[in-house]
Amino acid sequence: MHTSIPARARRGWRRALAVAAAVIALPTLAAPALAMPVHPPHRALQGGFEELMVPSSMGPVKVQVQWAAHGGDGALYLLDGLRAREDFNAWTFETNALQQFANDNITLVMPVGGQSSFYTDWRVPSNTNGQKTTYRWETFLTEELPAFLEGYGVSRTKNAIAGLSMGGSAALALAAYHRDQFKHASSFSGYLNISAPGMREAIRIAMLSAGRFNVDSMAWPWSPAWLRMDPFVFAPQLRNLPMYISASAGVLGAHDNPDSPIGMFNTVNAVALEALSMVNTVSFMARMNQLGIGAHFNLPVNGTHSWGYWQDQLAAARPDILAALGA
């Protein structure tokens, strides 16, 4: 049976269809506006702690952040050591770094990961451990991460950088080549003369131990890329950069209390690693003196290659860092 539809109903349906079509079309019509995303605003409480997943050419990278206590736009990047973990930056749980800067008007930026990377851009993925992605840490720390953090109110040009061991030489390198970004650099127990006799092979062994990474995948021996990483070589580019540089002689101190065979083994290693860092740092200091470049050097006798001393050195560097950033 055929039923006719009243004209009024037909007009109502046509209006409904027109509205539905307009609604369906809205995403398309709005596309130009949606295609221009902005990073989310600085949404954590001032002084709050947050974990961000930051896009990069290496894939998403976790970055742990403690926001400036009073909304300031300066930041301190804290770099990890050779055995950097994939879950947390060790500054957040091995030290009281968060508490040290809790009331300061600068943001702590703590990237997670980068084991054995020296925070540089590598030639190729490591061929000794099946690495799938080429490390691009310099690109991340100086381009991708600053661009992301800018959306949270962090300046791209008002930053300091500090690191321990592997992160120490990396902090100086990143500051040397990106002076527009970093206004202060700190190296704690860094290896600052990596082209000295025996140093490359020592680094090779250390990188194989820490994740089975191949130093040759990072940079060929004494290639321009390798020399670019060596603070002793790029020292002239550090002129007029405020720096805090420390290393100890490896003599046991207040933070060394081994109470087990493994603790004793680790302490012996920490003594040897710190003594090597001291040799590197003294050589670097002589180079800086030769060039007439100033820096704040702190070279105590007591101290080993361990977190308690790096925590102390960060506290000692803190006034210099805050002064350089005007915070």
Catalytic machinery residues: 165, 274, 305
Q: How many CA atoms lie within 13 A of 26 on its CB side?
A: 6
In degrees and rounded to multiples of 5, residue 211 shows phi and psi of 95, 5
Contacts (Cβ under 8 Å, ≥6 apart) of 68: 46, 47, 74, 75, 104, 105, 106, 107, 327
| Distance separating alpha carbons of residues 254 and 245, to the nearest angstrom | 20
DSSP annotation string for 36-63: S--PPP--SPTT-EEEEEE--TTS-EEE
In 3-state terms, what secondary structure has residue 163? strand
In degrees and rounded to multiples of 5, residue 86 shows phi and psi of -95, -5
Contacts (Cβ under 8 Å, ≥6 apart) of 38: 151
DSSP annotation string for 179-201: TTTEEEEEEES----TTSTTHHH
What is the chain's alpha carbon radius of gyration, rounded to the nearest angstrom?
A: 26
| Distance separating alpha carbons of residues 81 and 78, to the nearest angstrom | 10
| Distance separating alpha carbons of residues 137 and 115, to the nearest angstrom | 11
